[in-house]
Structure formats: C-alpha cells, structure tokens
Amino acid sequence: MVKTKGNELVFAPLGGVGEIGMNLALYGFGPPQKREWIIVDCGVTFPGPDLPGVDLVLPDIRFIESEVKNLKGMIITHAHEDHYGAVLDLWPRLKCPVWMSPFTAGLMEAKRESEYQRVNVPVTVFKPRERFEVGPFVVEPIPVTHSIPEPYSLAIATPLGTVIHTGDWKFDEAPSIGPLTDAAGFSAYGDEGVLALICDSTNALRDGESPTEKEVAASLEKLIGKAPGRVIITTFSSNVGRIRSIAEAARDAGRKVLVLGRSLKRVIEVADDLGYLEGLPEFLDEEEYQYTARDEIVVICTGSQGESRAALAKLARKEMRHVQLAAGDTVIYSSRVIPGNEKPIIETKNLLIEQGVRIIEDQDALVHVSGHPRRGELKRMYELVRPQISVPVHGEAAHLVAHGALAASIGVPQVAQVRDGNMLRLAPGAAEIIGTVPFGRTYKDGRLYGDEQEIGVRDRRKLSYVGHVVVNVILDQKYEVLGEPDLEAVGLPEKDARGDFLEDVLFDAVVGAIESIPRGRRKDLDLVADSARRAVRAEANEIWGKKPIVTVFVTRV
C-alpha cells in the first residue's frame, strides 16, 4: 500500500455509539470526494412499548447507500443480534461482499432458511489471523473471548496506519468454549504501532476484572446439585459456552436437559454441527418431560429479558402444553438485565413466584458473567496495543465518557469522543470530527420498512392513548341526512361520568353539528366531515379530557 497525497482515513458510526446495540461502523479511505468504504458490523436493537407493532429497529443507512458504488465490503465481528442481526434486512440495499466466521455464517444461514428465504447473501468465511483485502483495507481477524463462539477483533491496516476495532471482547483465562483473547497478537500490533483503538465501552463503569466462565459453571453445578425439584435456567440463546456449562453440570448431577425456545434450538443446531457441543448427552424431547422425575431434569429456556412470547413467560403463564412448573422448582436467571426490560422481567418473575417457584439471580449467586471488559481489562488492552488514539464505542454517554477518561489517565495521547453520525478523521493529523453524516433509526414492521411516519407508528402510538372514532354520514339529493349516521368508537370509555353511553353522546354531537350547517353549504362534503370531526373531538374532550382520532366519511346519494 502506497500513500497518496490527499488521502484521509475516517471513522463514521451509524449505530452503537451513544447507545447500546444496533452497531454499525463505517471506515473510509481516500480523498474526501472519492473515499472507499467498508462496513464493520450491521446490527439491530429491539423495540420497546413506545414502538407498537414494530418488530426490529435498524440503523438508517442512507449515507452508505449514497456511496454504495464505493462500498467494498462488510465484515461481521460475531453473531450477536446487535452486531449482525440487520444483515439479511439491509444487504439487499447494499449488495456488497460480506465476510464472517463459520459460526456466524451458519447461524445466519439457519435464520435465512426459517425467515428470509428470498435473501441470498454472498458470504466469504474468514479464518483467525488470516489477512484478506477489502478495497484499500487489509483486515486481520484476531480471536477474542466473548459470550458467543467465534468473536473477533479486526486489525484494519491502511497506508495511513492501522486501526484495531475490538468488537465485543473480554479477557477470560478459563472460558467454556473457544480460544483465549489473543494477547500476543494484540501486543505484536502494539509493537508495530497502532494508530487507533476503537474499543468496547459496555462495562467501562465497572472496576476490576470479570470472573471467568468456568467459575460461573462451577457455581451453576452447585446450585443444580442442591436443588430439590426441577431447575429451569434462562440465558441468552447465543451463549453457547453457558449452554455447554449447564448441560455438563446437569450431566454431573445425574439430570437430563430439555431445551425450550426456537432461537435456542437454532443456535444449538449450528453449534452442534461445528463441534461446540460434542460429548454431551442427547437432550430430552418435550413429550418426555412429564415422565421424568422432578429432581432429574434441567430446563434451558429463552425468556431472560421477559419477552412475552418466549418459553419462560409461557411457563409463567402456564401456557405450555407438555411442560409445567410446580412449587419448589427453581428458576435461575443466568443473564443480565438489558436496560429497558426491567418491567416485563419483573412481571414474569412475579407470576413464577405466585406458583411457588424459587428465583435465583446474579445478586444471589454467581450465575452470570458479562462478555464485556471491565476497567481492569480495558487497561490491560491499552497496555498491549499502545494506540495513539482512543475511540470509545459500544455504549451510552456515561460508558463512553468513563472509558475516555480511563484511556487518558493511562497516557493515551488522544481521546476522541464521537457519537452516531459523527465523521472522525483519524489521519493524517490529529484526530478530529470533520462533519456529520445522516443517521438514525428505521423500523421493520412485518414485511415492510420505514421511519415512524412511513409505517404508521406515530398514529399507532396516539391510538393507544386516545382511541379512534369512525363516523359515516349519508346525505340525500337535497343534502339532508339520510337515516342516522353510523358511529363506532374503539378504545374509548364505555360511559361518561353520568353513566350515559359515550357513543350516544358523541352521536348527538355529530347530528347537532351537521344540522347547524345551512343546507346550501352542505354541498361542501369536506365542510360537513370537518364539522362532524370537530364536534366529536370537542365533546369527547369535554367529557373525558382527551381528544380521540376521528375519521368521518360523508357520502351523497
């Protein structure tokens, strides 16, 4: 690679910087008017109750779509939804080459077969420490430890310097699955000189270092061995190491394992094909559950975040056909609470407690460990890599600022605080934000995509608060009301404070409004509709204190 006058190396995140999840980063190289680009990761986040009906939240990729002729490829660091979950949805708009690990490719193929039959993404599978070229970038995947098989950091070499994009990682000297984080590999790059470290900030507020996955496994084994009844463990479906640890603990305690949840079964199938679950006993079928003694079974299930359609929530609501719980059973949350999910998690726990089920969480015992680096691990990474520039990513503002302060305190020459949409010039010269690019969120709603306005989220949100009234008025040839208007109120109170039916009161308001219009002016059907709409909203507001959405149809026959 030869330096060319006028070239710049820039970094522009479209998601995951200033927020948790929906990670998508752009790297550009070249002169400002003719940069070549790569994408690192393409993730989703999940909608909360403020987005009724939305299935997925995706990054807004308008900017890189406008540069698609200069887009050289996409590299995925690992198979967590917040890093690869948008590939099948967004790739048809980009149509670029894609690189990922065998496990990530297998998991995406399983997802494609079940949900996205029409999307065939051309994937090149990379191997650890084998370099490959993507346009002007030379990329080397460096193995790291995380809570999923085959996570990688990326060393991205350019004529203006090397950037290390860590993805999600931690130091764990005793993981259940996979290699250790390649400290020697990072150190070797540090010896050569690293321009910038683009680094995970998720646990930058937590001191020390994380416990090992083997310690979690030993704790789970003790809990399973002591439990008097059934043991149900809910965890993230992608955490294959945890699944293996649970299965081994169950085996050693003389118990059999039942798996509940479609996403868990999909991950297990891919992991098993790649040998990550080799040597474990076969799992039970659901039909065998009721014929297995309570103290001989462990259930691994989805639902750690309170998802209403997940297996744990169905168990809590007693909605599963073959599987039920009983007083004295134990449910272990081998997971962390993702911010925003507190309410549904508590609701599920309360339903379980009502059944007499014992709940164990991470404050009760060592049942979970994060896959992200704490402050001690971050410090060790900086000591290995010795970058000129620290760029904290993957976190909310508090995480990013804490990470930046840590980097500065240990002597990193420059700390660049960026947020989604910022374009950061990494070289030449000092790191500097040189502009912004379009960014934001788009939504997947069923089979359609769009912003809040395009998919109707704003109106849905309003409907959920104030309801909807539909009025149908027919005028005859003389512009008199023919028969009685039809009125249907959905989502409004049934009666007013005096006990009168609200639909009847609103009906009278419609009739009064139309009759107050001189017959000659009723030729303007839009005027009639608007008068009826205003009358309904005003009357509802007078009685209820809220103005519903009102739709009025006026027809002349």
Q: Which CATH number fits domain 467-556: 1.10.10.920, 3.30.930.10, 3.40.50.10780, 3.10.20.580?
A: 3.10.20.580
Cα atoms in the Cβ-side hemisphere of radius 13 Å centred on 159: 14
Query: How, if at all, do strands 422-427 and 432-436 pair?
Result: antiparallel
Fold designation for 8-208+370-452: Metallo-beta-lactamase; Chain A (3.60.15)
- Enumerate the β-bridge partners of residue 551: 470
Amino acid identity for residue 96 in this structure:
C
Domain layout of the chain by residue ranges: 8-208+370-452, 213-360, 467-556
**Tell me, what's the pLDDT at 50?**
86
pLDDT at 4: 56
DSSP state of 501: B
Q: For 490, which DSSP code?
A: E
Q: What is the Cα–Cα distance from 99 to 226, expressed in whole angstroms?
A: 45
Question: In which element (H, E) is residue 158 found?
Answer: strand 152-158
> What are the 10-residue block averages of pLDDT along the chain, 557 residues in total?
76 96 97 96 91 94 97 98 96 97 95 76 96 98 97 98 98 92 98 98 96 95 95 96 96 96 95 95 93 96 94 96 95 90 94 98 95 98 98 97 98 98 98 97 93 92 95 94 94 95 96 94 96 97 96 96
Angle in degrees, 0-180, between the axes of helices 502-515 and 525-544, rounded to the nearest 10: 140
Q: Quote the tokens at residue 8.
A: 């710049």
Options 3.30.497.10, 3.20.20.70, 3.30.56.10, 3.40.50.10710; which CATH number does 213-360 get? 3.40.50.10710
Tokens in use for 364?
């009760």
Give pLDDT, residue 117. Answer: 57
Whether the predicted model's global pTM rises above the 0.85 cut: yes
Residue tagged 């001189």 (tokens): 518
Give the angle 530-534-537 at the CA atoms, nearest 5°.
140
The whole-number pLDDT of residue 1 equals 45
What pLDDT does 316 receive? Answer: 97
Look at residue 509 in the predicted model and tell me its pLDDT: 96
Quote the CA–CA distance of 198 and 366 in Å, as a whole number: 30
315 DSSP 8-state letter: H
**Topology match between the domains 8-208+370-452 and 213-360:** no
d(CA 295, CA 493): 50
